[in-house]
Structure 1
Amino acid sequence: MGVYQHLEEYAGLPVARFSDETAADDELPASAGEAAWYVGTSFDSEPFGETFARFRQAVDTTEITALIIGYFGASYDDDAADPAALLSEAAASFPKLRALFVGDITGEESEISWIEYSDISPLFTAFPDLERFEIRGAQGLVLEPIKSETLKVLRFESGGLPATVVQAVAASELPNLEHLDLWLGVEDYGGDATAADLAPILSGDRLPALRHLGLEDSGIQDEIAAAVAGAPVVARLETLSLAMGTLTDRGAEALLSGQPLTHLRALDLHHHFLSDAMVERVKGALPGVEVDLTEQEEPDGDWFYASVTE
């Protein structure tokens, strides 16, 4: 999943698009439940609220199981929308919703650091049966600790994830969560979480079902790798990702010196700053693990950069 193209498939369903360009006589899928529905507008066009209202009139939302929110405006727009508020108010119209992606917005539409939100906590109350929630962008993002017996996938894509959001995830009660991804980002874009903020996640106490953990795109990837090396949660994981960040030989050494990782099915380290010798060491230490060491980067002077920031 990248930030430069829209989703074509989501939650196992093909994506059907409804946008500011969708006309009343356009042909739409006959069964609303057979698609993941994208709803979005475009810059300097119909306000998102109007597009969303037309969508609810044109499509039988009571059958929708997967929903994608695209471009919804920006703070400098007079008609900027609050997608969390709009969705929460419309929750009764989506009784079967199980998967929600907020912010399927490409770099051409808006830089990831420009995507602005408010408090998204009400979404988890409005849609208590969500099994999958994903969001792109984190400017102004607020989250309170949540409780969910149904949530299995939780993903945050960001060039800078606020520490308060990381702390809220860490304090949440998610006994059936299987997949957690946090693009932590860098401090220049609001990514001020520390390795200590991740401690409750790494303990695994509140995440007994977790099988995939991604702590990615971080400017402190070496510190995170060192914390992961001794983390109790790792023993129950099937896949682990420390990709997209500023991982160097120091972080890789910490991983290799920590608990065994040979039980993993896959370890994703793509976009890294490892030396050739360390790349070979990692491969040799994990012969039965699918290790992604692509995108071997070179620092720009003394600047080590994460993959997604602005």
Structure 2
Amino acid sequence: VESAVEPDRARLRNAIEAAFALHTDPLLGSLTRYARAHDEAPLIWRFGFIHRVELRSVPMSAQILREVFAHASGQFVAELFLAGSDPRDLLGAIVVVVTAAPKTLRSLAIESSLDLGTLERLFTAVPNLRFLAIDAHDFEARNIELPVLESAAFDGRLSALCLRALAEARWPRLKHLGLTYTGGSATAADLAPLFDRTDLTHLKYLGLRGFPFGAAICRRLPHARFTHQLLHIDLLGCELDDADAAALAAHPARFHPNLTLTVPTGELSSTGLAALRVLDPKLRR
């Protein structure tokens, strides 16, 4: 419609609205009240089926999601975005994902200021994910196994057990790993297993943001088996000084020649910056 020229645009828009009004009830049934002709969210269709569901602080999210997954048009949902601060709505929606999500689900993102609790059952219920993003005040994870996951991002408070579970997670196809630490009990020892991994042969982006033990990261990262393949290393928000920068840059041959390096530069002198520019000449304060 948007690519058509006037007056065709108006004619096409009217035709779409008429078709939508005519076929909505038999195709959508009880989902009719959640769909509108020109406003795609919260339900986005593709090839006659619901492709994406977006529930952003929507009351009764769990009920809506349960209806979507049970509907004929919701059998092949591929993408799901959940956000909210009401425990009943958001945590209830997560339970629905655990119990009723279709195996076609490829992308899952959750944003909340809540404590989400333990997510082990959630991850077990969605084994075919390619994209996963969790941004919450607090959450726990254990025994993570997502064999085809390509992108993972976790932002929140990380306990020692949670960070260790993320460092040891079984996701051999992972290309993008982002961990943002906003507090918690995790230490450098809990992250250490990540640097011993030999199976992350596809990893291209590593983001370790906000960790208070940046010194340990800078000393372990050059010796990781996957470091040479990383195209982007993001340590924004970590505590780094000139000695840490020197340790990170001490073995330049172990890094990719076209590396992009993102680091906090506030505590670095010109000496520290010069050391890091051996790894990334484009680095700026």
| Higher relative helix content | 2
> What is the identity percentage for the equivalent residue pairs of Structure 1 and Structure 2?
22
TM-score scaled to structure 1, two decimals? Answer: 0.69
> Is residue 81 of structure 2 the alignment partner of residue 84 of structure 1?
no
> Counterpart of 2:220 in 1: which secondary structure?
helix
> Is residue 197 of structure 2 the alignment partner of residue 184 of structure 1?
no
> Counterpart of 2:94 in 1: which secondary structure?
helix
Contact 1:178 1:211 in 2 (8 A): yes
Give the counterpart letter for 2:131 in structure 1. Answer: R
- Which consecutive unaligned segments of at least 5 residues does structure 2 have? 1-31
Contact 1:84 1:122 in 2 (8 A): no
Q: Deviation at 1:174? A: 1.9
Contact 2:53 2:80 in 1 (8 A): yes
Q: Deviations over 1:260-285 (max 9, x none)?
A: 335343112146532244224422x2
CA distance in 1, matches of 2:155, 2:198: 24
**Corresponding residue for residue 77 of structure 2:** 64
Q: Deviation at 1:150? A: 0.8
Larger radius of gyration: 2
Q: Deviations over 1:139-187 (max 9, x none)?
A: 2x221122232111111012x222211111223222211211111233x
Q: How many residues align?
A: 247
Partner of residue 187 from structure 2, selected from 186, 191, 194: 194
Q: Deviations over 1:215-253 (max 9, x none)?
A: 111122222222213333212322211112222223212
Q: Deviations over 1:16-59 (max 9, x none)?
A: xxxxxx954633445376864321226xxx34324534655789
Q: Which has the higher contact order (CA 8 A, sep 6+)?
A: 1
CA distance in 1, matches of 2:222, 2:266: 17
RMSD: 2.9
CA distance in 2, matches of 1:262, 1:126: 36
CA distance in 1, matches of 2:71, 2:266: 46
CA distance in 1, matches of 2:93, 2:180: 21
> Counterpart of 1:117 in 2: which secondary structure?
strand
Contact 2:84 2:90 in 1 (8 A): no
TM-score scaled to structure 2, two decimals? Answer: 0.74
Give the counterpart letter for 2:226 in structure 1. Answer: V
Contact 1:237 1:264 in 2 (8 A): no
Task: Trace 1:133-148 onto structure 2 (pairs within 5 A).
Answer: 133-139=132-138, 141-148=139-146
> Is residue 106 of structure 2 the alignment partner of residue 98 of structure 1?
yes
Q: 1:183 to 1:80 in 2, by over 3 A?
A: closer
Partner of residue 174 from structure 1, selected from 171, 176, 191: 171
> Is residue 130 of structure 2 the alignment partner of residue 131 of structure 1?
yes
CA distance in 1, matches of 2:249, 2:259: 16
Greater Cα offset, 118-127 or 81-90: 81-90
Contact 1:152 1:176 in 2 (8 A): yes
> Counterpart of 1:218 in 2: which secondary structure?
coil
Contact 1:195 1:227 in 2 (8 A): no
> Counterpart of 1:122 in 2: which secondary structure?
helix
